[in-house]
Amino acid sequence: MNVPEFVKAKSQGRKLSVLTAYDCLWAALLDEAGVDALLVGDSLGMVFQGHSSTLPVTLEQMIYHGEIVARSVRNAMVIVDLPFMTFQVSSRQAVRNAGRILKETGAAAVKLEGGVHQARTIERLTACDLPVMAHIGMQPQSVRKLGKMSAVQRNEKQLLADAIAAERAGAFGIVLELMSSEVAARITETISIPTIGIGAGPHCDGQVLVTPDMFGMTGFKPKFVKQFGELRSQIIQTTRSYIAEVQSEVFPTSDHSHQ
């Protein structure tokens, strides 16, 4: 998968599957399963580092995780988030940091939050041949302004304007987060680039979920997350079995020992 193929999927009517990844083990497994794209999201600040928001994540951390993921896949396209305050100061700052990400990780593209207000930055990035995906609706990096991560965005006029601005600026795709399915459908019908929904209903051109949420590992269960697995309890129970066997001297046996 590459950027042109990703874009072409919309005209072909093929739905795109996207999941997050932050390390080599999960990246390789999800890639082998056939996911179209892996997003090295700044969500790692919450699900990997244990922060309450994405704001503490640094550029160096995104590059570190992005390089690991990109090196671990064979087919999936890898997209890396531009974290908080690495693109908001100026388009020059954004170009420098996006360039570092692509050069040092081997990823295919970057993602940034914003529509109308980031249109000039998106335009500058694409002018430098740096593929960029936009992200509108609920923007996690704006959590201080929004008050909470679950703030559903309802201003249809603004959301549509953001999507159109991002496309005109050169974005190859756009994440739609936490908005009504009706608004997401209208945006998807209006623009020619793929829309990737998260809490935006079934009418987008593809979907993205945070992988640990999808596997039921985090305990995070908002309405828009379908848990396709329940690994949390399995991991806990398996670990307890290991502890019990170690304590009772059932493990290891001679079968697990070098002779």
- We report the CATH number of the domain holding residue 78 as 3.20.20.60
Q: How far apart are the C-alpha atoms of 16 and 26, rounded to whole Å?
A: 19
Same domain, 149 and 92: yes
**Tokens matching residue 60:** 């160096």
| Domain span holding position 245 | 231-259
pTM above 0.75, yes or no: yes
Which ranges of the chain have pLDDT less than 70? none
pLDDT at 256: 86
Q: Looking at 177, 189, 230, 245, which residue is catalytic?
A: 177
Q: Based on the fold, state whether residues 191 and 258 are members of the same structural domain.
A: no
Instruction: Identify whether 177 is a catalytic site residue.
Output: yes
Cβ neighbours for 93, distance < 8 A, ≥ 6 positions apart: 86, 87
Say how far apart CA 27 and CA 23 lie, in whole Å.
6
- Same domain? For 99 and 224 the reply is yes
Q: Kindly state whether residues 252 and 205 are assigned to the same domain.
A: no
150-178, pLDDT tens digit by residue? 888 999 999 999 999 999 999 999 999 99
Let me know if 109 is exposed, middle or buried by CB neighbors in 10 A (0-12, 13-18, 19+).
Answer: buried
Q: Residue 255 has what pLDDT?
A: 87
Instruction: Please give the DSSP secondary-structure letter assigned to residue 58.
Output: -
Task: Output the CA torsion sign for 24, 132, 2, 38.
Answer: positive
Whether 93 contacts 104, CB under 8 Å: no
Query: Domain check: are 235 and 162 in the same one?
Result: no
Instruction: Compute the chain's Rg from CA coordinates.
Output: 20
pLDDT at 211: 96
My answer on whether 250 and 184 are in the same domain is no
Q: In this structure, are 97 and 9 located in the same domain?
A: yes
Q: What is the pLDDT of residue 40?
A: 98
